[in-house]
Amino acid sequence: MTADRKPIRVIAHRGASEDAPEHSLAAYRKAIEDGADGLECDVRLTADGHLVCVHDRRVNRTSNGRGAVSAMELAQLAELDFGSWKAPADRAETPDSADPERTTVLTLERLLRLVADAGRPVDLAIETKHPTRWAGQVEERLVRLLDHHPLPGEVRIMSFSARSLRRVHLAAPGVPTVFLMQFLLPRHRSGRLPPGNGIAGPGIRILRRDPEYVARAHRAGHEVHVWTVDDEPDVELCAQLGVDAVITNRPRTVRDQLARLG
């Protein structure tokens, strides 16, 4: 890190999800304890209009249930176990499998309250997942919920869907947005982003192939938030390139490495 560069922010991907079940309250508490600068979560809308933190379209991988989140009501999701599939990071330690903070579906509203009570400003990077049968209702609910829960840290909305981010710009022009990219399309190679987006969100593979992308995005006036940065060589690459934030499943380990790299 050079003298004029801000420290790289460490954002916990689905919470400290190496240590606790992804998107569980326990994973987010751990990330805050581990000193993460921010938390990342994915949101989906239930059939009865609640935003819940679930990555996949279906609940099959991360719970003991089956079916699409968008077709289930919150009460149905609340009956499922979203934690027992995850083995503890330290196998000597037996987690209390009945611990609701590891196993209960997490609503975005509950996560907002956790962040509000963190005792320090913690950023929140909320990703809208598309396609979904609820399309624009996701952004409508999200913006309304954020209006009711002002937080001391920065709240950003992220998406691979430019259309989702356009809806956010219309509904809440002041909310910063991150345009996520799995591949670098020719029209984005120059570092430019779809209008209205201030932050580029490339996957780490983009930077491994094209490290100069960071400088181009910076020249175009955009911050660069990279996902998912878990391994030492990738953290080192991000530090060398001067990215603005790394999104990682292992916030403590990555913070420690960045501190060593100075």
| 44/102 with CB nearer ligand G3P | 44
User: Which DSSP letter does residue 227 get?
Assistant: E
CB of 172 to ligand G3P, least distance (A): 20
Active site residue 218: no
Query: Tokens 């603005």 label which residue?
Result: 244
Query: Tokens 């508490």 label which residue?
Result: 29
Active site residue 55: yes
The whole-angstrom separation of Cα 39 and Cα 45 is 19
User: What residues line the site for ligand G3P (CB under 6 A)?
Assistant: 13, 40, 42, 55, 127, 180, 227, 247
CB of 4 to ligand G3P, least distance (A): 27
Q: Which of Ca ion, ligand G3P, none sits in contact with 10, Cβ below 5 to 8 A by type?
A: none
Helix residue ranges per DSSP H, the chain: 25-33, 74-78, 100-103, 108-116, 137-148, 162-171, 204-209, 213-219, 232-241, 251-261
User: What residues line the site for Ca ion (CB under 5 A)?
Assistant: 42, 127
Give the contacts of 225 (CB within 8 A, at least 6 positions apart): 9, 11, 125, 158, 178, 199, 200, 201, 243, 244, 245, 246, 247
CB of 169 to ligand G3P, least distance (A): 19
Nearest residue (beta carbon) to ligand G3P: 227
Q: Which of 23, 50, 55, 225 is catalytic?
A: 55
Q: Which of ligand G3P, Ca ion, none sits in contact with 247, Cβ below 5 to 8 A by type?
A: ligand G3P
Q: Which of Ca ion, ligand G3P, none sits in contact with 23, Cβ below 5 to 8 A by type?
A: none
Which residues are the active-site residues? 13, 55
